[in-house]
Amino acid sequence: MKRIGLTGNIGTGKSTIARIFEVLGIPVYHADYQARLILETSDVVEKIALLFGNQIIDAGFRVNRKALADIVFTDAAKLETLNKIIHPLVENDFSNWCEQHKYEKYILHEAAILFESGFNRLFDANILVVAPDKLCISRVMERDSVTKEMVMNRINNQWPQEKKQSLADYLIINDGLVMIIPQILTIHHKICSV
């Protein structure tokens, strides 16, 4: 089984791309979604409360993700602290998930900060989804009902797309002009033929 990373900055449309791969029958591990589930486990909630304060824990003993995001996306050191808690747990969860899919031709691991976290080292190849920054910002503002400033706080915690392009094995342009399905099919066939 080949392990393929799928990444792209916020608003590039990597989740949409992942869903198309799923339609092709490729199992996709959605790391950002799994991280949210891990963030809800009691052990992690306790650690988060100790590090960031009880004010970000709601009455149901769950992490208020918006309050946590407001803290970590404006303070790089706090974001790094959070990542040191979550990333090892996601990596372990992914390893277990891979064991369940070991007979597949290949699997995808979709994550926003694949290169920044160093997770790209786990994969045989990496796919990067790119889109113009202005388009990414408007997509996220519309999708999440947030301000441009809030989107920029998140973007500023990700590497520039240009830096990631030099590390990627495959590139998908999702600018609303270039058709994405032919790009995905080309990559799919290349991965399956190796």
Domains and CATH numbers, the chain: 2-38+82-193 (3.40.50.300)
Confidence of residue 95 (pLDDT cuts 50, 70, 90): very high
Which phi and psi (to 5°) does residue 55 adopt? -65, -15
Across the range 42-57, mean pLDDT stands at 92
Q: How high is the mean pLDDT of the chain?
A: 94
pLDDT at 108 > cutoff 90: yes
Q: Are 74 and 157 in contact (CB under 8 A)?
A: no
Q: What is the pLDDT of residue 66?
A: 86
> In this predicted structure, which of 32-41, 63-72, 165-174 has the lowest mean pLDDT?
63-72
Across the range 100-126, mean pLDDT stands at 94
Q: What is the pLDDT of residue 74?
A: 87
pLDDT tens-digit map of 145-162: 999 998 998 888 899 999
DSSP letter (8 states) at residue 61? S
